[in-house]
Amino acid sequence: MPQIFHRSANALSRFTIFGSIFLIAGIAYVATEVNRSPYFTRASVVREQPVPFSHQHHAGQLGIDCRYCHTSVEVAANAGMPPTRTCMTCHSQIWTNAEMLEPVRESFRTNRPIEWTRVHDLPDFVYFNHSIHVSKGVACETCHGPVNDMPLMYQENTLHMEWCLECHRHPEKYVRPKDAVLTFDWDGPRGSKAGQELVLANHVATREDCYTCHR
């Protein structure tokens, strides 16, 4: 029976099969890297805001307590955004004619809230409660990064599920004494032993339950 395909077709077939495997693996790798990139996660990307509010100036240089603006962070799932009257407590007295603060004054005059662009925006299928994390000793900067050094706010971490699970699986690496939750650049005791003691002292549960975050 005559040979239909040339002998080189065997080599071509093997090259095509193995080449397809490497091609698929390459595509998967590129897709994974793109998914982790700032283009998708928005990590380290500064968001444009109606007012260029500087956490570096307010929280860092002036030392304003996080709770002055985010009043519900210790008692509610949402940290809360300050009403314009909170801003005007100071800015009715200082920088009263600054052009960059005109949206603040306009908001106060018209009683219309400023439409801030959300920086840390979790998917709708994720439930996150600020108050329980704060009460267990998870510091603001653990999730939000060095806010006191940010002239303009950006998202410090990816907010991927694996990032959350790393903390839930190893809370001893991240928890602090409760009175240090709002402290930036905390230099207290760290390490496995100190962390484990804080996990016990703060009654941190280490169980992984899908319902905790996906309700």
**Contact in structure between 73 and 66 (CB atoms under 8 Å):** yes
Res. 173: pLDDT tops 80: yes
**Contact in structure between 42 and 35 (CB atoms under 8 Å):** no
- Mean pLDDT check: name the lowest of 18-32, 85-99, 132-146, 155-169: 18-32
Res. 49: pLDDT tops 90: yes
Question: What is the distance between the alpha carbons of residues 91 and 49, in angstroms, rounded to a whole number?
Answer: 18
In terms of DSSP H, where are the helices of 101-202? 102-110, 130-135, 140-144, 161-169, 192-201
Q: Apex CA 102: angle with CA 96 and CA 103, to 5°? A: 135
Bigger pLDDT: 12 vs 48: 48
pLDDT average, residue stretch 26-50: 85
Res. 48: pLDDT tops 70: yes
Res. 46: pLDDT tops 70: yes
The predicted-structure confidence for 190-209, as pLDDT tens digits, reads as follows 777 899 999 999 999 877 78
Question: What is the distance between the alpha carbons of residues 126 and 139, in angstroms, rounded to a whole number?
Answer: 20
Res. 8: pLDDT tops 90: no
Domain ranges of the chain: 12-41, 70-81+120-213
- Mean pLDDT check: name the lowest of 67-81, 106-120, 177-191: 177-191
Q: Which of 125, 124, 102 is nearest to 114 (CA)?
A: 102
Record the pTM: 0.82
Res. 174: pLDDT tops 80: yes
pLDDT average, residue stretch 101-124: 95
Tell me how long the chain is: 215
**Contact in structure between 108 and 88 (CB atoms under 8 Å):** yes
